[in-house]
Amino acid sequence: MDLNRAGVPLLEIVTEPDLRSAEETHAYLTALKAILRSVGVSNCDMEKGELRCDVNLSVRPRGSAPLGVKSEIKNLNSFRFVQKAIEFEYRRHVAELEAGRPLVQSTYLYDPQRNETRLMRVKEGATDYRYFPEPDLPPVEITEKEIETVRGSLPELPAAKRERLLREYGLGAYDAEILSSDRATADFFEAAARASGKPKAVANWIVNEVARVLNDRNRTMEETPLTPAALVEILGLLDAGVITSASAKDVLALAMETGRSPADLVRERGLATVTDEGAIERAVDSVIAANAKAVADFRGGKDSTIKFLVGQAMKETKGRIKAQAAEALLRKKLS
């Protein structure tokens, strides 16, 4: 650990040369980021400069023990760029060696616009780095006992959490992976799952709809006023038929923006399910009148066209009628 010139602590994590592919490196960094976030070391927001990556890469013939001449790619600010930079630099190394040109230990920058590395400077040995001791920073010696004390104080790490979510809640591998990668998201899920008794439904909404709204607004789970109780309330309104699936998504987005009660939002915004048969019939009649070709296709035997007509009926009512009701009435009128 070090301090930069602004006095901000810097933590440098160095691996052994044991990563064998761009994909493996991406997976390692993803897991490392999840660990750092879960223990509160950093938010690891790469857009804010809270995490950066340097890559040292070399190639060698399959089965050969000695490492090849390395190149260093500096200051990568996304894991996707790390993967692309490794792929490009690997191809460059192989091409140079196959052409009989010796490699020189050098430092490169990655240009994402051109998807290529550019030479930054040549370094032929460790002396070029000009390492020197800092007399005001004596070495820190950490005992095994201190390490075990810290290890015992750590929260549940992502890998262990993922396995527990799979085991305790019966989630699919993908949902468990997403939920366990962020501590705040995992805590939110568990609170909502316990309150609702429907962990799979909760996981589906968090992984898909909650994540979509957060991504659209460039926010994290900590930055939204949505509570586990509010999500459970939305699912309850949906199960009771008070709102449709489309309206539930609208209510979720509003709750994530305002923090207000879902039931209040449904009432104030007029988002409750339309159950009036006359209103449903008027919407269906309007769709039939406006979509003559689709109607003719359905009557001609193209049954899949009914899905399009149902979608138009949902659009007509802003998602406030049940798709099953719209389909049943459409089939009745068109048969």
Choose between 127 and 134: higher pLDDT: 134
Q: Tell whether the model's pLDDT for residue 274 goes beyond 80.
A: no
Domain boundary assignment for the chain:
2-148, 158-269, 277-334
Per-residue pLDDT at 129 exceeds 70: no
Band of the pLDDT at 2, cuts 50, 70, 90? low
CA distance to 4, 54, 181, 192, 253, per residue, from 14 (Å): 18, 9, 21, 38, 41
Evaluate if residue 4 carries a pLDDT over 60.
Answer: no
> Distance between CA atoms of 165 and 44, rounded to whole angstroms?
24
Q: Which of 55, 140, 147, 60 is nearest to 106 (CA)?
A: 55
Residue 145: its pLDDT value, please?
95
Q: Is residue 35 very low, low, confident or very high in pLDDT (cuts 50, 70, 90)?
A: very high
Q: Look at residue 318 in the predicted model and tell me its pLDDT.
A: 72
- Are 55 and 22 in contact by the 8 Å Cβ rule? The answer is no
Position 13 confidence tier, pLDDT thresholds 50, 70, 90: very high
Identify the residue with better confidence: 276 or 87: 87
User: Residue with structure tokens 């262990």?
Assistant: 160
* Nearest of 56, 47, 109 to residue 79 by alpha carbon: 47
Q: For the segment 36-82, what is each residue's pLDDT rounded down to a tens digit?
A: 988 888 888 888 888 999 999 999 998 888 999 999 999 999 999 99
Residue 128 has pLDDT above 70, yes or no: no
**For residues 179 and 162, what is the distance between their CA atoms, to the nearest angstrom?**
8
Residue with token string 């460790």: 126
Name which CATH class applies to 277-334.
mainly alpha
The β-bridge partners of 56 are 72
Using a 10 angstrom Cβ sphere, with 0-12 exposed, 13-18 middle and 19 or more buried, the burial of residue 236 is middle
Name the helix (H) or strand (E) containing 122: strand 116-122
Cα separation, 40 vs 155, whole angstroms: 10
From residue 185, alpha-carbon distances to 33, 87, 173, 189, 220 in Å are 15, 32, 16, 6, 9
Whether 263 has a pLDDT exceeding 60, the answer reads yes
Q: What is the pLDDT of residues 160-214, one digit of tens each?
A: 999 999 999 999 999 999 999 889 999 999 999 999 999 999 999 999 999 999 9
The whole-number average pLDDT for the span 222-239 is 95
Q: Is 331 exposed, middle or buried (0-12, 13-18, 19+ CB in 10 A)?
A: middle
Residues 276-330 have pLDDT tens digits of 577 677 777 777 887 788 778 778 888 888 888 877 877 767 777 777 777 777 7
Quick one: what percent of the chain has pLDDT higher than 90? 58
Q: What is the pLDDT of residues 71-81, one digit of tens each?
A: 999 999 999 99
Decide: pTM greater than 0.75.
Answer: no
Q: What is the reported pLDDT for 125? A: 63
Angle of CA points 302, 305, 307, to nearest 5°:
140
Residue 55, pLDDT score: 96
Q: What is the β-pairing status of strands 116-122 and 106-111?
A: antiparallel
Tokens for 108, please give them: 């490169």
Residue closest to 244 by CA, chosen among 319, 189, 181: 319
| Structure confidence at residue 43 (pLDDT) | 86
Residues 112-136 have a mean pLDDT of 79
Quick one: pLDDT at residue 117? 95
How does DSSP assign 67-91, residue by residue? ----EEEEEE--HHHHHHHHHHHHH
Output the CA torsion 147→151→154→156 (10° steps). 160
Q: What is the mean pLDDT of residues 97-123?
A: 93
Q: What pLDDT is attached to residue 271?
A: 84
